[in-house]
């Protein structure tokens, strides 16, 4: 007998397999699913604090004259055109500061690399898209280190400053380091999750053609393993993303650095998790039905000499 109920967990496993592959590979190539990042840093106003030297005395003490003079000149240029419109000045700074410093407007973390680029059409337009300039080489167990990249870009940039001049604190790098250790674990768990959902694609069709308690149980175990790995991954990433964004924004906002959570990545990883949960539940129901049927056959066996219709009704219960 062909049992088509196994088609449902099969469809779940195929979709979850594709989605969890995308979790690993999103953003691994320049421009490929860039918006599915784990975290993104908006650096379009990084260094903005040097505009207000009174607020941070340490930053103003070490601030380079070339950057200050550029900003002063920029403000004078704009104010001469549009008198006293502060928003216009801020927008213009946001769209020019990064280029002037020699850095990019955003840096984003993916499972296997970091990408960077500019906002399109510009940094202050609503719902701006991501124009990727460059991605780091794809690496298993990638460690996010935007500090080194930005510092390098600042040093080769024309203004001759480094990341500590801007006021980049240890708390910011600390928030990032916390995530890195957990990223190793999530990478391994994604690999197991992908492997298990891939195996589920191979074993689920067996259940369509073969009625076997053992095969049903194997399918349940495989689907549940995939669910478990993906669920732990999703929880780790949800929690750490939240914590990292908070840590970075706490100190970063003062220097014009903004971190955002990757909502689309979360949607991807939680969808894959939910699908494997559905597949597992289907196998639990299948297994329970099979187990009940086997138990009924077992209780019928000792009644030699009498047909089961004599003592049992159609549902398998003893007749009164």
Residues binding ligand NAG (CB under 6 A) = 42, 44-45, 70, 73-74, 77, 91-92, 94-95, 118-125, 128, 131, 133, 137, 151, 162-165, 258
Quote the tokens at residue 97. 């500061």
Instruction: Give the nearer residue to ligand NAG in terms of CB position, either 145 or 243.
Output: 145
| Sheet with strand 106-109: strands edge to edge | 129-135, 114-120, 106-109, 39-42, 258-261
Taking alpha carbons only, the member of 43, 32, 26, 106 closest to residue 267 is: 26
Rounded to the nearest whole angstrom, what is the least distance from the CB of residue 70 to ligand NAG in the complex? 5
Rounded to the nearest whole angstrom, what is the least distance from the CB of residue 45 to ligand NAG in the complex? 4
Burial 29-39 (b: 16+ CB within 10 A, else e): eeeebbebbbb
Rounded to the nearest whole angstrom, what is the least distance from the CB of residue 243 to ligand NAG in the complex? 21
DSSP character at residue 248? H
Tokens 């398998």 identify what position?
316
Instruction: Give the nearer residue to ligand NAG in terms of CB position, either 95 or 186.
Output: 95
- CB within 8 Å of 240: residues ≥ 6 apart: 178, 179, 182
Instruction: Give the nearer residue to ligand NAG in terms of CB position, either 56 or 133.
Output: 133
Q: Can you tell me the distance from the alpha carbon of 59 to that of 212, in angstroms, rounded to the nearest whole number? A: 71
Rounded to the nearest whole angstrom, what is the least distance from the CB of residue 274 to ligand NAG in the complex? 29
Rounded to the nearest whole angstrom, what is the least distance from the CB of residue 83 to ligand NAG in the complex? 16
Distance spanning both ends of the chain, measured CA to CA: 32
Instruction: Give the nearer residue to ligand NAG in terms of CB position, either 63 or 207.
Output: 63
Instruction: Give the nearer residue to ligand NAG in terms of CB position, either 193 or 256.
Output: 256
């Amino acid at each position: 007998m062909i049992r088509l109920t196994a088609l449902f967990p099969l469809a779940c496993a195929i979709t979850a397999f594709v989605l969890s592959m995308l979790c690993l590979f999103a953003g691994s190539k320049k421009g490929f699913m860039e918006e599915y990042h784990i975290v993104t840093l908006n650096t379009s106003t990084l260094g903005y604090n040097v505009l207000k030297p009174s607020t941070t005395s340490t930053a103003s003490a070490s601030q380079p004259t070339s950057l200050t003079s550029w900003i002063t000149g920029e403000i004078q240029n704009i104010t001469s055109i549009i008198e006293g419109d502060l928003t216009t000045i801020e927008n213009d700074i946001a769209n020019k500061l990064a280029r002037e410093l020699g850095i990019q407007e955003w840096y984003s973390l993916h499972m296997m690399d970091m990408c960077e680029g500019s906002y399109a059409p510009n940094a202050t337009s609503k719902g701006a898209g991501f124009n990727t300039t460059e991605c780091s080489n794809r690496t298993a167990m990638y460690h996010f280190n935007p500090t080194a990249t930005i510092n390098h870009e600042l040093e080769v940039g024309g203004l001759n400053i480094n990341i500590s001049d801007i006021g980049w604190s240890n708390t910011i790098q600390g928030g990032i380091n916390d995530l890195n250790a957990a990223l190793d674990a999530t990478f391994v768990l994604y690999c197991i999750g992908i492997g298990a959902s891939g195996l589920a694609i191979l074993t689920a069709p067996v259940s369509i053609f073969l009625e076997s308690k053992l095969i049903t149980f194997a399918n349940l175990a495989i689907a549940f393993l995939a669910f478990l790995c993906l669920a732990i991954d999703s929880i780790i990433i949800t929690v750490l993303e939240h914590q990292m964004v908070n840590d970075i924004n706490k100190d970063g906002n003062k220097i014009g650095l903004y971190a955002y959570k990757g909502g689309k990545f979360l949607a991807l990883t939680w969808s894959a998790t939910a699908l494997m949960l559905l597949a597992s539940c289907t196998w639990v129901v299948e297994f329970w039905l099979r187990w009940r049927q086997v138990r009924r056959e077992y209780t019928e066996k000792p009644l030699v000499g009498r047909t089961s219709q004599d003592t049992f009704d159609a549902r398998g219960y003893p007749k009164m």
